[in-house]
Structure 1
Amino acid sequence: MENLFSYGLSVFMSFFAIMNPIAITPIFLGLVDGEDEQTKRKIARTASITAFLIVVCFIVAGKYIFEVFDITIPAFKITGGILIFYVGFEMLMSQKSKIHNTNHHSEDSSIAISPLAIPILAGPGTIVTAMNNVTDASFIQIAIVIATFAFMIFLTYIAFAWSDIIVKKVGQNLISVIGKLMGLILAIIGTGMISEGIKLTFP
């Protein structure tokens, strides 16, 4: 039992380090800027559920998914990195992201699925972390990884859902500054992912 607790704690720490709900909240605020509270919660809920389902699929059948579609980790990192850099650059330039659609309902779905669900929440780092945690794992350990990730997704949803309160407490001007900083950080993260993908492709 103690070993399972230690395993669960290590899994939680690895997920928290790669996801960090507190750090990505300003990114969420930047992407849903101008939306009403109900729409923000809807986007947060859709993104959280989608990210959970994606990562669980990779936990259960990740190796088979990569083999069937002939996907490599380097290619996944490079593609995800390009998308993250693109979103971060637009946030840094204070531009309305071109991932938005003129149709309001389509816009909500687009933001929730990409870039929020993937690659921000269920990005290459999260997926690789999840798959590493279940390598040669028992059924109980796989269940622990899924349950731990579900808890992380719940924390992320709470952080997103309370984003309006954060704005009121901190102030719109400071949030705008934080949004630009997060855009810069997001662009840097994207560049890092691209670099890692290139290094893995050409060791």
Structure 2
Amino acid sequence: MDSAFLITAFVTLFVVMDPIGLTPVFIALTQGMGASYRRQMAVRACLIALALLALFTVFGESLLGFIGISMPAFRIAGGILLLLTALDMLFERRSQRREGQSIEPHHDPSVFPLATPLIAGPGAIATVILLKGQTGGGWAGIGTVMGLVVAVLLLTFALFLVATPLERLLGRTGTNVITRLLGMLLAALSVQFVIDGLKGSGLF
């Protein structure tokens, strides 16, 4: 697999899943929990997100074909969806919605909202289907995409484990700056998805 594609795909998944932006949310959702229980929440959330993304990586394109949606059309729709996510990141609406999440005592946030929709949300699902399409499909393509998903989830899990000291290190300002930089990058990548979809459609 081309190294340029691997780098671009990894960056796309990293920006869409946004482990850095999720870290303060994880802290808020697990506030008051012991270290071992917090670790259990991190493991469970990442494993459930992995299962969901694996399901859509393997069967997502077949599902699209079954309901009559072409890959160029999905690339355009996915690009637009990623662009909306990027705009949310740039204008902090994404953080505001996440920080609005609240939990009751003894509530298990690993499935909802951590695994879905925060980690394996619509943007991440659209991205894995798009990336599999770019690999040409087949088990080699599925393996490549899943390897990248696992790499991003491992980073997410690592950041969850060091969430508290990382939050103190970056501060709110540092987190906001990184989120906006990632948002700008995601906006450019989403436009590229739309361009690729238009080219594949035969309109240009």
- TM exceeding 0.5: yes
Q: 2 CA distance for matches of 1:87 and 1:111?
A: 18
What CA RMSD, in Å, does the superposition of the two structures yield over aligned residues? 4.1
What is residue 130 of structure 1 aligned with on the other side?
A: 132
What is residue 4 of structure 1 aligned with on the other side?
A: none
Output the amino acid matched with 1:77. G
Q: 2 CA distance for matches of 1:8 and 1:191?
A: 23
Correspondent of 2:116 among 98, 113, 116:
113
Structure 2 SS opposite 1:32? helix
What is residue 31 of structure 1 aligned with on the other side?
A: 25
Q: 2 CA distance for matches of 1:16 and 1:190?
A: 12
Structure 2 vs 1, CA of residues 158 and 57 (structure 1 numbering), >3 Å: closer, same or farther? same
Structure 2 SS opposite 1:132? helix
Output the amino acid matched with 1:145. T
Structure 2 vs 1, CA of residues 128 and 107 (structure 1 numbering), >3 Å: closer, same or farther? same
Structure 1 SS opposite 2:184? helix
How far has the Cα of 1:106 moved from its partner? 7.9
Correspondent of 1:179 among 169, 175, 180:
175
Structure 2 SS opposite 1:100? coil
The Cα offsets for residues 86-143 of structure 1, whole Å up to 9 and x where unpaired, read as: 2553368x745376256574866124312322256x254444223433x254x5x357
Please list every run of 5 or more consecutive structure 1 residues that lacks an aligned counterpart in the other structure. 1-6
Percent identical? 14
What is residue 78 of structure 2 aligned with on the other side?
A: 76
Q: What TM-score does the superposition give when structure 1 sets the normalisation length? A: 0.63
Matches within 5 A, 1:76-95: 76-90=78-92, 95=96
Structure 1 SS opposite 2:101? coil
Q: 2 CA distance for matches of 1:12 and 1:193?
A: 14
Q: 1 CA distance for matches of 2:77 and 2:96?
A: 28
Preserved contact between residue 87 and residue 183 of structure 1 (Cα < 8 Å): yes
Q: 2 CA distance for matches of 1:187 and 1:28?
A: 14
Please list every run of 5 or more consecutive structure 2 residues that lacks an aligned counterpart in the other structure. none
Q: 2 CA distance for matches of 1:88 and 1:112?
A: 23
What is residue 3 of structure 1 aligned with on the other side?
A: none
Preserved contact between residue 79 and residue 192 of structure 2 (Cα < 8 Å): yes
Matches within 5 A, 1:191-202: 191-192=187-188, 195-196=191-192, 199=195, 200=197
